[in-house]
Every structure is written in structure tokens, then in C-alpha cells.
Amino acid sequence: MVSTTLIAARFQPRTSLRARMPSGQRQPNEPPVTDDSERRFTIESAESLIVRQSANRLLRERYGWRGYHTVSLPANQTSSRTTLTALENGVAIGTITVGLDDTAGMNSDDAFGDELDALRQAGQRLCEFTKLAIDPITGNKRVLAALFHVAHIVAHLLRGRDRLVMEVNPRHVRYYQRMLGAQVIGSERINRAVNAPAVLLSLGFDYIASCIHEFGGHPECAGTERSLYPLAFTPDEERGIVARLMAAQQPASPALN
């Protein structure tokens, strides 16, 4: 892979409404524009040792802060596990791993094997998002939305998966229901990998795609559409990400093949 950068984005995407406002004018009660509006981050495929080490530091910090068992990334990307990392100035501020269902199963099979087998028997091609961490100081919802959107592209548009599953702490269930439209399909039990309670959430990638198509690239809708989708990328940006991912499909990048 010549470059692992899939896209660069602003922390605070500009709204079309603000773009139409005359210079120096703001909507009532709108805070002034700060330098944060010009801060940028990149989403990268975590191919290099340096990026993976930075992502691992973030995972250790965030999981350790919650009192969970430490999790870490494997030394390299694999054909069924793709780690995506958000970087600001070379430092990981967010990370997520796309895990494809294969003959070895998925991490969530340990606690939710029966629920996943039912989906498989119904003909669903599954994928899980795991090892999610966002830096609480430098990251924000835009970073989470960007990581989620690129993970969706990898799982659905490139690898043809039908349905997403995620193990989340019961405290976070309502957040993902509101932010993504996820539904609970597995009741609370212990995730032994992190020694913490977990609930299994699921949603179809067709639903995710329809929400991204309707709201992606329209942050001005975030006031009424209180999900992550208005903070997702535009259709043109999505096509650019797909093109860069397709160009990266070579033996040196097994996770994207």
C-alpha cells in the first residue's frame, strides 16, 4: 500500500447553512467559529507498526480507565480483521476493527453464539465492529461517525456483508440505539475477553446505507436528526474512500482483499 490514508476530514464539518450566511454573521445563539473548525484528522488503514502501536495505546487507556481487561490488536492486519484508526498529528484519537465472519467465527460467538447462528441460518452474512475507542478529549462524534462510515464501507460495499453486530456495555445500549438505530438481539451476559457485561446489538447494512444516503454530509440536520448519520461523509467523499480502498487491494494489504 503506497498510502494508508483513506480520507482527511474536519472535526467540525461546515454546514451548508453557515456557508450561505454573510461573513461575520451567525444564527441566533450560535457560538462563534473557533480554530477547532479548521482542525483536521485522517482515517487510515492501520497497516504500519507505528499506527497500530498508537491505536493500542488508545485501547489500553480507554479500556483500562473503564476497568476492563486490556485488549490489543494483532501484530498485523489479517484477511478477516481490518483496523481503522483516526489520527490527529500522527496520534490515534479513535480506532475500530472490522471483523468478518468466517470459518473461525467472530469474537461475539463466545457469549452470543446462539443468536449469531440464528442469523447465519437465516442467510445473513455477518460482520462485527470491535475494539472501538475514542479519545474523550481530542475526539468527538464527528470522529466516531467517520470511523463508523469507513467501517461500513469496508464491511458492506467492499466485502458484501449484510448485517452488523456489536457487543456493547449495557450502559451504552440507548446511545447506540439513538446514534445508529441498532436493536438489541442478545440479552446481557459476560464478555470474557474484557471481563465486563455485554449486550448484543444488530442492524442491517442496508438500513445504514439508506441513512447515510439521506443524511450524510448534512451536519446542519444534526439539530433535528440526533444520530451520527448527518456527520457521515458525502456521496462524493464515500466514492473517493471506496476508490482508495480498492486501489489498496494487493497482497501487501491482506485485510482489504
Q: What is the mean pLDDT of residues 69-76?
A: 81
Distance CA(131)–CA(115), nearest Å, equals: 20
pLDDT at residue number 68: 85
In the predicted structure, residue 24 carries a pLDDT above the cut 80 = no
pLDDT at residue number 35: 54
CATH number at residue 174: 3.40.630.30
User: How would residue 37 be classed by pLDDT, with cut points 50, 70 and 90?
Assistant: low
Residues 131-181 pLDDT 10s: 999 999 888 999 999 999 999 999 999 999 999 999 999 999 999 999 999
The whole domain housing 145 covers 5-256
pLDDT at residue number 18: 40
> How many other CB atoms are found less than 10 A from the CB of residue 51?
21
In the predicted structure, residue 253 carries a pLDDT above the cut 60 = no
Measured N-to-C along each axis, helices 205-215 and 141-152 cross at an angle, to the nearest 10 degrees, of 130
Measured N-to-C along each axis, helices 141-152 and 173-180 cross at an angle, to the nearest 10 degrees, of 70
Q: What is the mean pLDDT of residues 213-225?
A: 94
pLDDT at residue number 249: 72
Domain count, the chain: 1
Q: What is the mean pLDDT of residues 238-247?
A: 94
User: How would residue 3 be classed by pLDDT, with cut points 50, 70 and 90?
Assistant: low
**What value does the mean pLDDT of the chain take?**
88
